[in-house]
Amino acid sequence: MKLDVFNINGVSTGRTIELPEEIFGVTPNQQCVYLDVKQYLANQRQGTHKAKERSELSGSTRKLHKQKGTGGSRKGDIKNPLFHGGATIFGPRPRDYSFKLNKKVKALARKSALSAKFSEGSIMIVEDFTFDAPKTKGFLNVIDSLKVNGKRSLFVLPGADKNVYLSARNIPRTMVMRAEDINTYQIVKSASVIISESSINKIKETLQG
């Protein structure tokens, strides 16, 4: 499995890189992808939703009128859930939405996502690059040269690069991540995955380590 290596100007360097088939050539497991994406999205939820129940509302607990003889329905206190401004019955409470997922399932999910992108022709390999200083215009030029402008793009770097990150953070539909931090959700969500040359070994170490 080979791909051409391009520079940030979108010109082929004449070199190719061998991609590990056990990562980019597996049969996608949709159930693992689903579970990994589900866990990622669940972990993003704060779970701080809360509605006041009957015991938490301020107000008198006095019975509004006597039980019988009024011709009206029976009523309790003013905090009755049936009244406007009353309490909420079985309302949401703070909770933790996260759940456990086995490492092998998560690894297979990322391999499946990368393999699917490879089969679609949505993966591009570029030479390692950096910027002398944060500059959004410089990163926009890279996007235009690689012909991914307007697409949701994921750039994978071998390590943290502050200048590249700061240059891309204000560009819509563009994400920059370290190779060891890539997740199934971002891969599936992206229309194009641009991987720097040195990141291939990092991905291999992460998913096979």
**pLDDT category of residue 209 using cuts at 50, 70 and 90:** low
3-state secondary structure 114-170: HHHHHHHCCEEEECCCCCCCCCHHHHHHHHHHCCCCCCCEEEEECCCCHHHHHHHCC
Nearest-angstrom CA–CA distance, 6 and 196: 9
Q: Is the pLDDT of residue 2 over 70?
A: yes
49: helix, coil or strand? coil
Torsion sign (Cα): 31, 36, 37, 39: positive
Do 55 and 20 lie in one domain? The reply is no
pLDDT in tens, 56-113: 999 999 999 999 999 988 889 999 999 998 999 999 999 999 999 999 999 999 999 9
**Which domain covers residue 61, as residue numbers?**
47-96
Task: Count structural domains, the chain.
Answer: 2
Cβ pair 123, 24 in contact under 8 A: yes
Q: Are residues 84 and 170 in the same domain?
A: no
* Residue 35 and residue 58 in one domain: no
Q: What is the pLDDT of residue 149?
A: 87
Chain centre distance of CA 205: 22
- Report d(CA 146, CA 122) in Å as an integer: 12
Quote the pLDDT of residue 79: 94
Alpha carbon distances (Å) from 1 to 18, 23, 97: 6, 11, 39
Question: Above 70 in pLDDT, residue 195?
Answer: yes
Q: Are residues 195 and 141 in the same domain?
A: yes
**Tens digit of each residue's pLDDT (9 = 90 or more) over 134-188:** 999 999 999 999 999 888 999 999 999 999 999 999 999 999 999 999 999 999 9
Q: Are residues 84 and 103 in the same domain?
A: no
Q: What is the pTM of this model?
A: 0.84
Are 73 and 122 found together in one domain?
A: no
How far the first Cα of the chain sits from its last, in Å, is: 21
